[in-house]
Amino acid sequence: MKSYLVLDKINGPEDLKNLTPEEMAQLCSDIREKIVDAISGIGGHFASSLGVVELTVALHYLFNSPQDKIVWDTGHQSYPHKLLTGRRNELHTVKQYGGISGFPRRYESPHDIFATGHASTSLSAALGLAKARDARGGNEHIIAVIGDGALSGGIAYEALNNIGHYKTKNLIVILNDNAFSIARSVGAMTQHLTKLRNRPFIRKTEKELRDFMKGLPLVGNSFGKATETLDQGLTFLTAPDKMGVLFEEFGFRYIGPIDGHNLPDLISHLSLAKDTDIPVLLQVVTTKGKGYEFAEEDATTFHGVTPFDVSTGKMKKSPSGAPPAYTTVFGNTLVELAKKDEKIAAITAAMPDGTGLVKFSKEIPDRYYDVGIAEEHAVIFAAGLAVGGMKPVVALYSTFMQRAFDPVIHDVCLQNLPVIFCLDRAGMVGEDGGAFHGIFDLTYLSCIPNMSVMAPKDENELRQMLFTALNWEKGPAAIRYPRGSGVGVPLDLEFKTLPWGKGEVVKTGKKLVFIAIGRMVNQCVKAAELLSKEGIDAGIINARFAKPLDEELLLKAAADYPYVITVEENVLQGGFGSAVLQLYNRHSQLQNVSFEALGVPDRFIEHGSPSILLKECGLDPEGIAARAKSFILGKKQAFPMAVSL
């Protein structure tokens, strides 16, 4: 294993306390080199961690983690933190099955105070930690590190408002201002921060004035009031358009902006923040990808990377001839349809690349909306578009759709508005782990009145589902599809309308039938091939719709086959299998049918490649075939006793 001059001596934050300035600078260099060396070989989050190296070193130098508590918003920038808190020799396992997480995890280290993964949560968590501290009479510092992109999320403002209301002591908010979330940040707050970021640095003048005032014959609270007035006045007078008072108006002592890569300056200003008895907001300007030329030039591409060549910055290519990704098929199809229908609009929440909407943004910019990390707003905004006669398509990751559950119910479904939700990364997404698997959407969407829920078996069916949903217009609909490549079927050039709420028979059989949805249809095809070698003839139904169910087809399947097995890449509780079970329970003549439901077990699934995780859950072809064989040969029970829910 490669050696590093100073980093190899750091086994915990306490080892930073006696480093010289020269050793601190070398440590920052070592950390960057370690991250480049490790992530270039395995892939992972990259540019964000490079941007906070000096900040992380300064925090662990000045504060005493885990007594002082550091909360990393989102957490994809936490690799330097992991290196300094005892996980130096494990970075090469990050996001790998059985390795360390790419995000803070409480089970992993006492220095990971709060598990994160989704944006904009750190301020609320920090306030909770601070008030819990106050309740038990503690005095440790609570530090939240939040990016300017995450500051576009409404949760952050709810927390800012509450922090200011409580005037909580020993609470520091560090605004890591790099002008990015994953893509470049958008919105009025971003424009405001840009003005602050580009204003002249005035803290030298402020220090001189503060020193002058210390020499005045002021006593008691007079000095504090005078310096507080000075701070507010300087912020007000020097900020463009007098907008610098925003954070002060929230009740914070505002410091900044300062250079986030100047370690002595960081330590100086963090020391000032540490000694302030009201909440502090410190704006730190950083460069995403700092120290690696290619990441600095293209921070979006290098936000999360596959293995790459360090000398050229080129990602190592996947084998040629791979089918197009579902994301790509969705993006191309939406552009194709929108060029024919001027009512179609596309909405995303800071994820134009991840959701496949970059092409739409370039070719149809007047109907493209990136609302920032604000999923709730995205959904309500789409509802307004629908009332106005548009056909809004909201493209989100399945895991981020969870954040907008109430607006989906209250603002879309209650009004039965024709909003289309396209949920990327449904099912097992892989290395990002429990916070990002899209294994709940069939459950949380199917329970809402007026909502229809679809999942394509392949990339061509995704095209047809999108076309069908956009032309149905009788209410809201969701289409969920997985990360990664399709199965390799040809794409029909002509669009066709799929019969609403109807499935299809993929294969007939004799002994048992798999009723599968989404990616699991192809898994069942492969499982049926394995079973056929053992003389078990399995039929396969592609449900297409989790809601409404094709009752006619499903009831016929239960009448034709003695064994029925539903298969879904979703939690079993309240999922597709549960809906089929409820259907069968309503029909007493089916009580002699043996029924089994396969899906994701009732626990959070951690990180690893999708193939490994599907195998772990018994949802790979071999696992499905084994469960089916065991079910019909060794565990025959009358329905519904055989249900594995």
Convert the pLDDT of each residue in 201-213 to its tens digit.
Answer: 444 444 454 555 5
Q: Compute φ and ψ for 567, nearest 5 degrees.
A: -135, 125
| Active-site pick, 206, 375, 568, 596 | 375
- pLDDT on residue 153: 85
Mean pLDDT: which of 297-311, 536-550, 600-614 is highest?
Answer: 536-550
Active site residue 586: no
Task: Tell me the C-alpha distance between 584 and 446, whole Å.
Answer: 17
Six-digit token string for 471: 């032309």
Angle between helices 154-166 and 122-135 (to 10 degrees): 30
> For residues 153 and 253, which has the higher predicted lDDT (pLDDT)?
253
CB 303 within 8 Å of CB 182: yes
Closest listed residue to residue 202, CA positions, set 164, 240, 155: 240
Class of domain 504-634: alpha beta
CA dist 356 and 22 (Å) reads: 45
Q: Is 288 a catalytic residue?
A: yes
CA-to-CA distance for 100 and 103, rounded, in angstroms? Answer: 9
Helix 53-62 and helix 263-274, axial crossing angle in degrees, nearest 10 = 40
Amino acid letter for position 12: G
485 phi, psi to nearest 5 deg: -70, 150
User: What's the token pair of residue 53?
Assistant: 């190296």
Residue-wise pLDDT for 58-98, tens only, equals 999 999 999 999 999 999 999 999 999 999 999 999 989 99
Closest to 289 (Cα-Cα) out of 54, 43, 47, 56: 47
Round the average pLDDT of the chain to a whole number and report it. Answer: 88
Q: Determine the distance from the C-alpha atom of residue 354 to the mean position of all C-alpha atoms in its chain, rounded to a whole number.
A: 10
Q: Domain 7-199+239-305 falls in which CATH fold?
A: Rossmann fold (3.40.50)
Write the pLDDT tens digit of every residue in 120-177: 999 999 999 999 999 999 999 999 999 988 888 889 999 999 998 888 899 999 999 9
User: Which H or E run includes 31?
Assistant: helix 21-42
Q: Does the annotation mark 105 as catalytic?
A: no
Q: What is the DSSP string of 131-151?
A: HHHHHTT----EEEEEETTGG
% of residues, the chain, pLDDT over 90: 73
Encoding tokens for residue 67? 């007594």
Q: How far apart are CA 116 and CA 144, in angstroms?
A: 12
Catalytic residue among 34, 253, 288, 483: 288
pLDDT confidence of residue 435? 85
Query: Would you place residue 638 in the very low, low, confident or very high pLDDT band (cuts 50, 70, 90)?
Result: very low
Domain 326-480, CATH: 3.40.50.970
Q: Are both 7-199+239-305 and 504-634 of the same fold?
A: yes
- Where are the chain's structural domains? 7-199+239-305, 326-480, 504-634
Q: Which residues of 95-116 are buried (b: 16+ CB within 10 A; e: fewer)?
A: bbeebbbbbbbeebbebbbbbb
Q: Which of 403, 463, 483, 519 is catalytic?
A: 403
The SS3 call for residue 512 is strand
HSE value, Cβ hemisphere, 13 Å, CA-based, for 119: 24
Q: Is the dihedral of CA 319, 322, 325, 331 positive or negative?
A: positive
More confident residue, 25 or 432: 25
